[in-house]
């Protein structure tokens, strides 16, 4: 018996409709099952004020929470929460969920340069340019030497140049808008294949079809220094220029063998430090502190010896 074209079309339509209905049914069942699937979710155990470091004592995990009750921007794992900070101006209430945009890692906090200081350390800010930043290549959490060069304010015939302190830790690198220069997302996007126009780089055929901001340039470094180092660095800025110098050494090896900024040792050129100390003064009413032995010996030398 020959089947007409109309009958064939009806049969195909019925089969297609059946497959469609079955697919929708499976999707709904799967989606519903996933939403009802119990999961472990992190909640706050206590009220957490704004600008507070989140510790494990502040977090609890609630098992058997329906997936449908958890918004997509909520963090569910304690390891994604502990060690981060609540953002300034926004705290977390007790027994509440923690949302991605309401907490930040230390590096992204506005006052990261202060938060990253260890006990006994002080923040020393220093303006830099494309030259003194070594072409925008000195990164946070690395170590550099801090050098000094005199200028016309020093009133000397010959320029004075030397290493003030070695192995000083960089805590933050900011641009002229006080934004972090080195953000992970800036270095994990597709390579730039477009042209820079008006501060925006077109991605061209990079694959993401979006736009990427032009590279940010370092304008302000903050260093972690001791009280003694801070005193000499501020004095040096009155008589010349302080600038960072990168050196060839493994940063991991430096960290393993480092005992400079934690002990407060004045580890630079002692003649430079003595000259800087001898060029500045403090009011008689200021508290007098005994000079470091190694610096006191050098202060007995004349300026002519330094300049020569």
Residue with tokens 């003194």: 132
pLDDT of residue 157: 81
If 0-12 CB within 10 Å is exposed, 13-18 middle and 19+ buried, where does residue 24 land?
A: exposed
Please report the pLDDT score of residue 13 as a whole number: 77
Does the pTM surpass 0.85? The reply is: no
SS3 at position 235: helix
Instruction: Give pLDDT tens digits along the chain (308 positions).
Output: 556 667 767 777 777 777 788 777 676 656 555 555 778 899 999 999 999 999 999 999 988 787 777 888 999 999 999 999 999 888 999 999 999 989 999 988 988 889 999 999 999 999 999 999 999 999 999 999 999 999 888 788 888 899 999 999 999 999 998 888 887 665 555 444 444 434 434 344 444 445 666 778 999 999 999 999 999 999 999 989 999 999 876 666 666 565 544 444 567 788 888 888 887 765 445 555 544 445 445 445 434 444 44
pLDDT at 30: 64
> Could you give the CA distance from residue 239 to residue 233 in angstroms, rounded to a whole number?
10
Which residues face 146 on adjacent strands?
165, 244
Contact 298, 271 (CB under 8 A): yes
The DSSP code for 291 is: P
Nearest Cα residue to 189 out of 214, 159, 161, 219: 214
Integer Cα distance of 134 and 248 in angstroms: 13
- Which of 300, 282, 279 minimizes the C-alpha distance to 160? 279
Spell out the domains of the chain, with CATH numbers in brackets.
38-104 (3.90.1210.10), 112-178+217-307 (no CATH), 182-215 (no CATH)
pLDDT for 138 equals 92
User: pLDDT value at position 277?
Assistant: 85
C-beta of residue 125 within 8 angstroms of C-beta of residue 230 = no
Token code pair at residue 97: 């969920």
Residue 137, Cβ neighbours under 10 Å: how many? 9
């Amino acid at each position: 018996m020959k089947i007409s074209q109309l009958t064939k079309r009806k049969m195909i339509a019925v089969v297609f409709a059946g497959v469609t209905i079955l697919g929708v049914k499976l999707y709904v069942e799967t989606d519903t099952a996933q939403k009802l699937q119990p999961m472990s979710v992190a909640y706050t155990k206590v009220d957490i004020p704004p600008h507070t470091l989140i510790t494990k004592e502040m977090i609890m995990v609630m098992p058997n929470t329906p997936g449908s009750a958890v918004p997509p921007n909520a963090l569910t794992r304690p390891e994604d929460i502990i060690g981060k900070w609540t953002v300034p101006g926004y705290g977390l209430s007790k027994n509440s969920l923690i949302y991605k945009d309401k907490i930040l890692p230390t590096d992204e906090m506005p006052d990261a340069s202060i938060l990253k200081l260890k006990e006994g350390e002080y923040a020393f800010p220093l303006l830099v340019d494309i030259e003194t930043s070594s072409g925008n290549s000195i990164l946070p959490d690395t170590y550099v030497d801090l050098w000094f060069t005199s200028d016309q304010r020093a009133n000397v015939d010959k320029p004075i140049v030397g290493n003030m302190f070695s192995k000083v830790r960089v805590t933050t690198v900011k641009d002229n808008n006080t934004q972090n220069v080195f953000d992970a997302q800036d270095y994990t996007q597709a390579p730039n294949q477009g042209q820079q126009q008006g501060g925006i780089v077109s991605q061209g055929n990079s694959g993401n079809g979006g736009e990427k901001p032009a590279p940010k340039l370092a304008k302000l470094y903050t260093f972690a220094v001791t009280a003694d180092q801070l005193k000499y660095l501020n004095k040096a800025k009155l008589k010349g220029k302080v600038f960072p110098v990168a050196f060839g050494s493994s940063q991991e090896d430096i960290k393993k063998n480092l005992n400079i900024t934690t002990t407060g040792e004045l580890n630079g050129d002692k003649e430079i430090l003595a000259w800087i100390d001898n060029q500045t003064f403090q009011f008689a009413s200021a508290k007098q502190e005994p000079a470091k032995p190694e610096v006191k010996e050098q202060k007995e030398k004349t300026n002519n010896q330094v300049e020569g």
